[in-house]
Structure 1
Amino acid sequence: MDITDICGVPAVKFLLQGLLILVCTNSVSAAVQLRPNILLLMAEDMSARVGAFGDAIAVTPNLDALAAQGVRYPNVFTTAGVCAPSRAAHILGMHQVATGTQHMRTSSRPEGGYYAVPPDGVKAYPELLRAAGYYTYTDFKLDYQFSHANAYSGPFTIWDAEASEAMDWRDRAAGQPFFGLINFMETHESGVFTPLGNMPNSFIHLVMQGMRWWRMDGEMPEVVSPEQVEVPPYYPDTSAVREDMSRHYNNIALMDRRVGKILTQLEADGVADNTIVIWTTDHGDGLPRAKRELHDAGTRVPMIIRWPDRWRPGHLRQGELDERLLSFVDLAPTILTLAGVEAPDYLHGQNFLDSTVNARTHVLSSRDRIDEIPDRQRSVRDESFRYIRSWNPELAMGHSLKFRDNIAMVREMRQLYNAGRLNTDQARWFESVGEERLFDIKTDPHELTNLVGDPAYADELQRLREILVDELAQIGDREGQAETRLVEQFQPAGKRPVTSAPSIAINNNIMTVETTTSGSSIGYSLNDGDNWLLYHQPVVIPAGAEVRVKAVRYGWQASSEIRVK
């Protein structure tokens, strides 16, 4: 490859190649140093139970302070009401139904696990940030459907560091901008399970009790009592319901304390003035009739963004409330643009900070297999209405589910239903959903009254039907393709494909790498180093260094390593 391909300047003399490359590399580094750091804090399983969003019960002083310094977004919608599909859509910037990542969860499918394989050329946006010079890191949670839930199970090219601590921005090179994604398991649904010291309901319950105790490290705040909780109309007002809801609030308080510690450390390390902080959650509450559902309780999440003065868009002010409809697929193009990186055309979202872009009129979400229960639902929601289409109309949302049944209030609600002791609104969760549902969000925020069949709403019903059909066609929904067919497509002959080993050429200390597996990513390491660097253009290799190179196609096994010296 000619040096012009690397730096965009003519290579007049062979002896100037190395110098020109170093000059170009240093110039790029200098430009990158002027970009903001971005820290994305993502709580698990939580709706807007935050004081700054109007919840008078929540004890969230750190998030409230963050909101006062930033902008609140109360109408952000995830693309699913459950973690793995939602996280896949977030990290790829594409709806999960278009990438084969829609079933919860691919790696734990009852008939045998598999990894989804996103479309050729689609990359997780942190990898695009890496290619632009960012130091990227995350903690123990991946859960992208082309990975397991845990760290080190996905493509090795996405992150500079995995299983990291929140403050691992310290590990980057001097002056290098960072992107960190930190998850907060404190608020996960499993935290609502009765804690250690109570009789476990199942083996998984016992395991989750132990994991929760380990995560809490002895810190179990009890700042919200069962008596303080406001019980929504779709729950019976019982002690079990109140206790589980108060436990959820107390887990949120613990998460808030951890957020506060991270923000304090940003200040102490002197990087707060150059760091954009985004806080949000991966879907709605980890409670029955919320998590896994397409109602607002399952897909509507809060978001806060705090900008340092030098990076705040001119049209935004501290403490502002932005009530536009936003989708989780909007995060990728927005974060890329904040970092000065061009957003790929394949992304389904839009940069919501661009004041010249038309605001969304609606958002799309979907539900497919949930653990051991097959399903298919699609939903569209605008400012006033939510429409849900189901291809399994006989299925009740309160069906038995091994993991969810570890929640005491779920078991009690089912017992009360079987005994005929729930009212109409409470019992509806245990009854078949029907083919279509339509809710007036303005007059019925809890989505209790199905308006399908009401002549007064016939026009709205037809309008939303057509929007849903058009949206699914635009994004390339797989139109009910059976999961077995997806598995056959991703794992021909029942085996996970292996990425082809790359080929290496080193001339005059300039290394170029190619692979025959279309859409794969390439990483390299020097002198048996522990870290894999992202290869995205020819690089200068120090004289005498030993180089290891391997490639990976998302969802496939990584290639074998190639070594050269």
Structure 2
Amino acid sequence: MKLGVVVVAGVLGGAAAASGAPTSAAPLTHPNFLWLIAEDFGPHLGCYGTKQVWTPHLDELARQGVRYTRFYTTAPVCSPSRSAFMTGMYATSIGAHNHRSHRDDGFQLPPGVRLLTDWLREAGYFTANIRQLPPSCGFRGTGKTDWNFAVQGKPFDSDNWADLKSHQPFFAQVNFQETHRPFRAPHRADPAQVQIPPYYPDHPITRADWAAYLDAASELDRKVGRVLAQLEADGLADRTVVFFFADNGEAHVRGKQFCYEEGLHVPLIIRWPKAFPPPKHFQPG
């Protein structure tokens, strides 16, 4: 199973056991879950040691939580990876491994395989794939799913952040496209100062492209900061487990669509809230 599904399932099971409550109705002892999902992004944040990138909000999230250094997606491109982390199964085991091969053919998941949101609903959770964010955030979520299978019914209850406060506990995800090509972020990184991977030619074009990628990461951090600030302003931060991760590695040669380190190695940061400290067995990856 994918780590996100494992952690969510573990917390649900632990909370239900502690409360003695049936899983059909989530009690107040259940935390909220918020997934912040980047596209095409490797572990290139300040907290991972990257230079010429400005990521104060994600660095602070890592300081408050757990930063994973060996977290890998199960596929180097979005649709099989997203199919995996929303079902908790390898894409090869559910027939979703060929990128976007089932967009129009009505392909169904195998019997017994369900979305994470299905399990969460049974546990009493409200589910949301956020497109509509408050005006204070200054942007919209992409609402991306890109699963490589057809979905029967409605996988999410809402796409509006405003619904979360009155529908707790909730599971919500916000998708960010800043690190997906083409990069459109303000220029800040100095191409002459960036540390390009050693397998790339040290050429001005390479440096400029890598700098643009790091600028996109800085812009991603700015928007993540807006969402985290809104979570705090709404009084939800103290009972929400926050995950930050990416669907696959960076969109460079040897990265996205390549089963190399750069295509599979992504960041993962988990912050547990004050009201719900980590389980005793929870260890950094």
Same fold flag (TM > 0.5): yes
CA distance in 1 between counterparts of 2:166 and 2:41 reads 36
Distance apart, 1:131 and its partner CA: 1.9
Distance apart, 1:174 and its partner CA: 3.4
In structure 2, the residue matched to 1:247 is 212
Distance apart, 1:58 and its partner CA: 1.9
In structure 2, the residue matched to 1:275 is 240
User: 1:185 pairs with 170, 177, 187, which one?
Assistant: 177
1:156 aligns with 2:153: yes
Q: Trace 1:149-548 onto structure 2 (pairs within 5 A).
A: 154-161=151-158, 164-165=159-160, 168=161, 170-172=162-164, 174=166, 176-188=168-180, 190-192=181-183, 220-313=185-278, 315=280, 322=284, 324=285
In structure 2, the residue matched to 1:534 is none
CA distance in 2 between counterparts of 1:316 and 1:222 reads 43
AA of the residue aligned to 2:152: P
TM-score, reference length from structure 2: 0.82
User: 2:78 pairs with 80, 83, 92, which one?
Assistant: 83
Look up the SS of the partner of 1:284 in the other structure: coil
In structure 1, the residue matched to 2:98 is 103
CA contact (8 A) 1:33 1:175 kept: no
In structure 1, the residue matched to 2:110 is 119
In structure 1, the residue matched to 2:17 is none
Change in 2 beyond 3 A, CA 1:127/1:231: same
Cα deviation code 1:478-520 (max 9, x no counterpart): xxxxxxxxxxxxxxxxxxxxxxxxxxxxxxxxxxxxxxxxxxx
Distance apart, 1:316 and its partner CA: 8.0
Change in 2 beyond 3 A, CA 1:87/1:175: closer
Distance apart, 1:33 and its partner CA: 2.7
Distance apart, 1:78 and its partner CA: 0.6
CA distance in 2 between counterparts of 1:267 and 1:60 reads 19
Look up the SS of the partner of 1:75 in the other structure: coil
Distance apart, 1:28 and its partner CA: 6.3
Change in 2 beyond 3 A, CA 1:122/1:106: same
AA of the residue aligned to 1:157: K
In structure 2, runs of 5+ residues without a counterpart are 1-20, 131-142
Change in 2 beyond 3 A, CA 1:294/1:126: same
CA contact (8 A) 2:52 2:190 kept: no
Higher RCO, 1 vs 2 (CA within 8 Å, ≥6 residues apart): 2
CA contact (8 A) 2:165 2:234 kept: no
AA of the residue aligned to 1:234: Y
Q: Percent identity?
A: 39
Cα deviation code 1:166-218 (max 9, x no counterpart): xx1x3147362110111111111x224xxxxxxxxxxxxxxxxxxx6xxxxxx
Structural RMSD (CA) = 2.3
Look up the SS of the partner of 1:301 in the other structure: coil
In structure 2, the residue matched to 1:128 is 119
User: 1:145 pairs with 118, 123, 148, which one?
Assistant: 148
CA contact (8 A) 1:106 1:116 kept: no
Look up the SS of the partner of 2:267 in the other structure: strand
In structure 2, the residue matched to 1:198 is none
CA contact (8 A) 1:285 1:291 kept: yes
TM-score, reference length from structure 1: 0.43
In structure 1, runs of 5+ residues without a counterpart are 1-24, 148-153, 193-211, 213-219, 325-565
CA distance in 1 between counterparts of 2:100 and 2:279 reads 41
CA contact (8 A) 2:248 2:265 kept: yes
CA contact (8 A) 1:191 1:248 kept: no
CA distance in 2 between counterparts of 1:69 and 1:276 reads 12
In structure 2, the residue matched to 1:423 is none
CA distance in 2 between counterparts of 1:102 and 1:28 reads 32
CA distance in 2 between counterparts of 1:28 and 1:82 reads 35
AA of the residue aligned to 1:45: D
CA contact (8 A) 2:254 2:263 kept: yes
Look up the SS of the partner of 2:157 in the other structure: coil
Cα deviation code 1:265-319 (max 9, x no counterpart): 11110110011100011111111111111111110111000011221225489xx
Change in 2 beyond 3 A, CA 1:236/1:273: same
Look up the SS of the partner of 1:179 in the other structure: strand
1:58 aligns with 2:53: yes
User: 1:48 pairs with 18, 29, 43, which one?
Assistant: 43
CA contact (8 A) 1:47 1:283 kept: yes
Look up the SS of the partner of 1:42 in the other structure: strand
Look up the SS of the partner of 2:44 in the other structure: coil
CA distance in 2 between counterparts of 1:45 and 1:79 reads 14
Find the structure with the greater CA-based Rg: 1
